[in-house]
Amino acid sequence: MARPSWNDEMRSAAVATLDSKQWVKGRQVQQFGKEFAEHCGALNAAPCQNGSSALWAALKIAGIGPGDEVLVPSYTFISTATCIVLVGAKPVFVDVEDDYYCLDLNSVKQALTSHTKAVIGVHLFGQPYDPRIVDFCKENHLLLIEDAAQAHGAQQQMSDGEVRVAGAMGDVGCFSFFPSKNMAVGGEGGMLTTTRGEYSSRIQSITNHGRTPNLESIELGSNLRMSEVAAAIGRKQLNHLEKWVNIRRKIAEQYTLALHNHPLIAAPQVRQNGLHAWHQYCVQTDYPEALQAHFDKLGIDSRRYYTVPIHQQQIFANHPQHTKLLPNTEHLGKTLVAIPVMHELTEEEIHRIISALKTFQVGSDL
């Protein structure tokens, strides 16, 4: 499902950084943050340990805590919700769209209470969320945290006509550089971005024990720093991100064309005026187990994501929404199957995957 990119350029950058013996708190991290902010169109960016720590830090700098409610989709990775609990706030689970798989605006509106302080929007699988979420949060004075862990290189036209890149579609953006993502850093890694001036310096300080440049701690933070070696690799990968995402889009277009009028499999849709980053290409079928078995027999990997909604998982057994039905969330968990769309796929592999899609039949031996 993933094949991290690695070449001599990245290897040389990593070795040179190790040879420098400046392994933490140096130029590579500073430059990586600057260059990533420029890529997103954000005011500032701060490299950190991983996407989960970025989500925690985003809530902390906004002062979200006990007594506050944060609206979050239940169809997403677990850390999108557990970060809320870690700061003492209450996650309120909402449904997702049936066509684009991101936060459903009507569900968000229905969940709004006087205790709601923030919304965590997820660009799921690389699909940007509904730009009207941005408008809704502004109108209701809610913090919008952008979970862009799967959306490196995604773009979306906003309601005012402006095109924004993932990382600048909310107040604070959170990225992951886990090896399966569109770009990586040779291990674990993450990034905080912000479009708000009052958070510009704080995203830096919270990753370093809440300290100011004179080393005085002025707020509760932690050691969330990224290593210099990881940042050096990330800088090189960032230079290739646009090309890699374009490759993913071309592969996705081939899959979608192959699935036209397929009787058993539906291709994923792309939001109007948006550019999907295709971290995952998830087809929809009423026969997910059979499709996976078909791919297995042909030696092709596939994966089903989030088959148990977050609010129904054991960690939230005492949550008031534990037994609540979120129809689209339930349906997607039962019908979506992810197939390889990584930019490192060879032409031969792409053709094998397309052939596998076209030949899928329920009960087929192929």
Residue 80 is assigned to a structural domain of this protein: yes
Domain co-membership, 203 together with 248 = no
Domain co-membership, 197 together with 258 = no
Domain co-membership, 181 together with 58 = yes
Domain co-membership, 280 together with 203 = no
pLDDT tens string for the chain (366 positions)?
Answer: 999 999 999 999 999 999 999 999 999 999 999 999 999 999 999 999 999 999 999 999 999 999 999 999 999 999 999 999 999 999 999 999 999 999 999 999 999 999 999 999 999 999 999 999 999 999 999 999 999 999 999 999 999 999 999 999 999 999 999 999 999 999 999 999 999 999 999 999 999 888 877 778 878 889 999 999 999 999 999 999 999 999 999 999 999 999 999 999 999 999 999 999 999 999 999 999 999 999 999 999 999 999 999 999 999 999 999 999 999 999 999 999 999 999 999 999 999 999 999 999 996 444
Domain co-membership, 136 together with 280 = no
Q: Is the distance from CB of 284 to CB of 307 less than 8 angstroms?
A: no
Residue 3 is assigned to a structural domain of this protein: no
Domain co-membership, 46 together with 131 = yes
Q: Is the distance from CB of 127 to CB of 274 less than 8 angstroms?
A: yes
Domain co-membership, 164 together with 247 = no
Domain co-membership, 229 together with 301 = no
Res 79: pLDDT: 98
Residue 342 is assigned to a structural domain of this protein: yes
Res 365: pLDDT: 46
Domain co-membership, 158 together with 279 = no
Three state DSSP letters for the chain: CCCCCCCHHHHHHHHHHHHHCCCCCCHHHHHHHHHHHHHHCCCEEEEECCHHHHHHHHHHHCCCCCCCEEEEECCCCCHHHHHHHHCCCEEEEECECCCCCCECHHHHHHHCCCCEEEEEEECHHHCCCCCHHHHHHHHCCCEEEEECCCCCCCEEECCCCCEEECCCCCCEEEEECCCCCCCCCCCCCEEEEECCHHHCCHHHHCCECCECCCCCECCCCCECCCCHHHHHHHHHHHHHHHHHHHHHHHHHHHHHHHCCCCCCCECCCCCCCEECCCCCEEEECCCHHHHHHHHHHCCCCCECCCCCCHHHCHHHCCCCCCCCCCHHHHHHHHHEEEECCCCCCCHHHHHHHHHHHHCCCCCCCC
Domain co-membership, 127 together with 257 = no
Question: Structural domain of residue 16, as residue ranges?
Answer: 8-237
Res 211: pLDDT: 83
Of 182, 210, 237, the domain-final residue:
237
Res 263: pLDDT: 97
Res 210: pLDDT: 84
Of 207, 237, 267, the domain-final residue:
237
Residue 365 is assigned to a structural domain of this protein: no
Residue 2 is assigned to a structural domain of this protein: no
Indicate the number of domains in the chain: 2
Burial string for 192-212 (b: 16+ CB within 10 Å, else e) reads: bbbbbeebbebbbbbbbebbe
Of 237, 263, 283, the domain-final residue:
237
| Domain containing residue 315: CATH number | 3.90.1150.10
| Domain containing residue 160: CATH number | 3.40.640.10
Whether the pTM exceeds 0.75: the reply is yes
Domain co-membership, 194 together with 152 = yes
Domain co-membership, 196 together with 303 = no
